[in-house]
Amino acid sequence: MPGTVAQAGSASSGTYRASDIVKSYGSVPVLKGLSVSLHPGRIHTTMGENGAGKSTLFKVMAGLVQPNGGTLHLDDAPLLLSSPHEAHLHGIYLVPQEPALMPELTVAETMFVGQLPTTGRWRRIDWSAMRARAQEALHALGLDIDVDAQSRRLSIAQQQQVECAKALLRGCRVILFDEPTSPLTTHEVDRLFSTMRRLRGEGYTLAFISHRMDEVLDISDDISVLRDGALVDSVERPEFDRTRLLSQMVGREMRTIPRRSWSSATTEAVLTVDGLAHAPSFAEVGFTLHRGEILGLAGLVGAGRTEIAETIFGLRRCDAGSVVLDGAPITGLPTHEIIRKGLVYAPEDRARHGAVLPMTIAQNVSAGLIERVRRRWGLMDRDDEDRIGAEAVSQYRVRCAGTDQTLRELSGGNQQKVVFGKWMGLSPAVAILDEPTRGVDVGAKDEIYELIEARARAGTAILVISSEMEELVRLCDRILSIYEGRIVAELHGDGITPERLGRSYLSHAGLGAAA
C-alpha cells in the first residue's frame, strides 16, 4: 500500500488553501488575486485555456515560483515556501507538466536525488536499500518499471509515474498533478485514475489539471475554472455541467464539431512505406499515403508508432524495408535531406526535439524556414524572422507578450502551437504529426484540427499519431491500428467509429471488453 512506503515528511491532515495569489512576469499579470482550497480525500481540478495560469498556480503552491502577493495555509498554519524542497518537507509535491528526470541517472537514483539513504558510521550510501525502497514504491503504485533502467530510456508516461512514486517516498500527502494525462492513452489514464482514487480513499489531498472534459468530469470532486488568471467558476460534483464549464472557460458559447463529411484525399501516392522493420520496435510495416489524405496511426503507448515515424524521418536506422517519397527512395537519408525533400515530423516530446526553449518564438518558427529563405535571398534577417513569427502567432493564436518572448516563458499548450507553426510554415508534401494537440485546450484544439484539414486541402499528405481516439475519429480519412509494432487493422470512411477503433487494437491487448 502507498502508506507503507511513506516515511520522512510531516503527515498532516492536509487542507491546503491559497488565498488572493498575485503573480506577474514583468508588467504582465498572470494570476490576479486567485483563491483555491484543496481538501483531504478529494480531487480538485483546475481547468482553463492555454495560458490561463493553471501551471503557475500549481508552481506557487509547490514552492517553485514566488508570488508577488497572497498567502498559503496548510491546516490553518501559514506557509512560506521558498523552494520545492521546503514544500516537500511540508508534504506538498508537484508532478510537473514536463517531467525532467535526470537522464544519466538510473530510475532508483533519480527517485532518491537529494535524500540518498546512508548506512553505518561513515554514512556510506546504501545502494541496496535505495534500490529496494524504489522498487517497493513503484510496486505500491502497481508499476512495472525497472529501477536499474536509465531515466532517459523511460517514456513520458513512465517518467510521470516515477514522479508520483517520488511523492510517496517523500511522505507527501498533498500531490499536485499538472496535466499528467496528456501523454497517456485511455488505458494508461484508467491506471493513473485508479491510483489517484486509491490515494483519495486514503485521505491524500489531490489536485489535477487536464484539458480533457470527460476525464475531468469522471475523476473530480471539485472544479475551479480559471480565465486570464482569475477564478471565474467553482463547482462541486453534484453541480457539474459540461456546457457551463466549457463556456466559462472560453468566455463564449462552445459548439461541438462532428466528424467532417468531406475528404480531400486523392489517389496519388506521395509516401510509400514497404516492409519497414526496426527490431524490436516494429516489423513488416507497409502503407501508402496519398496527396491530401489524413491517415491516422492508432494504438497503445509503446505500440511502436513513434518509432515508425522516427524511422521514416531518418532519426533511426531501419533493419529492412524502404520509404519512397514522391517516387524517389529516401530510406536511410539524413534527416536534413528528408526535410529538404518535403517531409517534416512534429514530434510528441516537444521539449526534446521540437522546440528550442531558450530561443524566441520568432526564432523557433523561422528555424524551419532558414534553408528556404537563405537559398532564395541569401541570409535571413531579423525583420524576416519577426514577420514570420508574427504571422504564426496570429494564425495559431499563440498567447504571448510578443514574438521576442522565449519559448520557455510560454504555457505548455502555447509551446505546442509554436512547434506546429514551425513545421506547417514549410508547406510540406508530407507532414507526420505526433500528438499534435498534446496539452492544447479545447477551444484551440478545434483551431488546430481546422489548420490540419486546411493543410490537407492544400495537398499535404498527413500522418497523425494520437492517443486520443476522438481526435483520430474527428480527423482521419483512414486509420491503421498498430499493436506491438505491427499493423493489425485498417478502418476507413464511415467505418471509423470510436467503438470500432477501440476494439481494433484493444482486442489484441486482451482488453477487448474495455473497448
With the CA atoms of 372, 376, 377 and 381 taken in that order, what torsion angle do they form, in degrees rounded to the nearest 10?
-10
Q: Which three cell numbers stand for residue 6?
A: 511513506
Cβ distance to Mg ion smaller for residue 63 or 412: 412
Choose, by CB under 6 A, the member of 2, 53, 180, 299 that binds ligand ATP.
Answer: 53
Q: Which three cell numbers stand for residue 359?
A: 530561443
51 forms part of the interface with ligand ATP (CB under 6 A)? yes
* CA–CA gap between residue 7 and residue 321 (Å, rounded): 53
List beta partners, residue 176: 94, 207
DSSP string of 93-121? Answer: EEE-SS----TTSBHHHHHHTT---EETT
Choose, by CB under 6 A, the member of 50, 185, 205, 363 that binds ligand ATP.
Answer: 50
* CA–CA gap between residue 309 and residue 349 (Å, rounded): 13
412 forms part of the interface with Mg ion (CB under 5 A)? yes
Residue 477: φ, ψ to 5°: -80, -30
Distance of closest approach, residue 170 Cβ to ligand ATP, in angstroms: 24
411 forms part of the interface with ligand ATP (CB under 6 A)? yes
CA 102 remoteness from chain centre: 18
98 forms part of the interface with ligand ATP (CB under 6 A)? no
Number of residues that bind ligand ATP (CB under 6 A): 21
40 forms part of the interface with Mg ion (CB under 5 A)? no
Number of H helices, E strands in the chain: 18, 22
- On whether the CB atoms of residues 40 and 11 are closer than 8 A, the answer is no
182 forms part of the interface with ligand ATP (CB under 6 A)? no
428 forms part of the interface with Mg ion (CB under 5 A)? no
- On whether the CB atoms of residues 177 and 206 are closer than 8 A, the answer is yes
Cβ neighbourhood burial of 73 (10 Å; 0-12, 13-18, 19+): middle
Q: Which stretch binds ligand ATP (CB under 6 A): 161-169, 308-316, 403-411, 464-472?
A: 403-411
Angle between helices 412-424 and 382-395 (to 10 degrees): 120
- On whether the CB atoms of residues 432 and 309 are closer than 8 A, the answer is yes
Q: Which stretch binds ligand ATP (CB under 6 A): 32-40, 405-413, 426-434, 450-458?
A: 405-413
Task: Give the position of cell 514530434.
Answer: 347
Choose, by CB under 6 A, the member of 8, 25, 279, 284 that binds ligand ATP.
Answer: 25
Which of Mg ion, ligand ATP, none binds 414 (CB below 5-8 Å, type-dependent)?
Answer: ligand ATP
Cβ distance to ligand ATP smaller for residue 34 or 43: 34
Cis peptide bond N-terminal to 280, omega within 30: yes
Cβ distance to Mg ion smaller for residue 147 or 351: 351
56 forms part of the interface with ligand ATP (CB under 6 A)? yes
Choose, by CB under 6 A, the member of 274, 404, 409, 447 that binds ligand ATP.
Answer: 409
CA 227 remoteness from chain centre: 21
Number of residues that bind Mg ion (CB under 5 A): 4
Q: Which stretch binds Mg ion (CB under 5 A): 49-57, 253-261, 460-468, 494-502?
A: 49-57
415 forms part of the interface with Mg ion (CB under 5 A)? no
Beginning with the edge strand found earlier in the chain, give each strand of the sheet holding 294-298 in spatial order. Answer: 343-346, 430-434, 461-465, 294-298, 478-483, 486-492
Residue count of the chain: 515
Q: Which three cell numbers stand for residue 87?
A: 514544500
Cβ distance to ligand ATP smaller for residue 181 or 331: 181
Q: Which stretch binds ligand ATP (CB under 6 A): 148-156, 352-360, 406-414, 461-469?
A: 406-414
Choose, by CB under 5 A, the member of 46, 55, 331, 364 that binds Mg ion.
Answer: 55
410 forms part of the interface with ligand ATP (CB under 6 A)? yes
How far the first Cα of the chain sits from its last, in Å, is 29
**Residue partners of 35: CB distance under 8 A and separation at least 6:** 17, 18, 19, 20, 21, 70, 231
Q: Which three cell numbers stand for residue 392?
A: 504564426
Which of Mg ion, ligand ATP, none binds 30 (CB below 5-8 Å, type-dependent)?
Answer: ligand ATP
Distance of closest approach, residue 45 Cβ to ligand ATP, in angstroms: 13
Beta strands in 291-386 (DSSP E): 294-298, 320-325, 328-329, 343-346
Choose, by CB under 6 A, the member of 21, 52, 162, 192 that binds ligand ATP.
Answer: 52
Residue nearest to Mg ion (CB): 55
Q: Under rule CB under 6 A, which residues in 425-464 are in contact with ligand ATP?
A: 439, 441
404 forms part of the interface with ligand ATP (CB under 6 A)? no
Which of Mg ion, ligand ATP, none binds 409 (CB below 5-8 Å, type-dependent)?
Answer: ligand ATP
Q: Which stretch binds Mg ion (CB under 5 A): 5-13, 72-80, 412-420, 425-433?
A: 412-420
Choose, by CB under 6 A, the member of 2, 14, 40, 48 that binds ligand ATP.
Answer: 48
**Residues at the interface with ligand ATP (CB under 6 A):** 25, 30, 48, 50-56, 97, 399-400, 409-414, 439, 441
**Residues at the interface with Mg ion (CB under 5 A):** 55, 97, 411-412
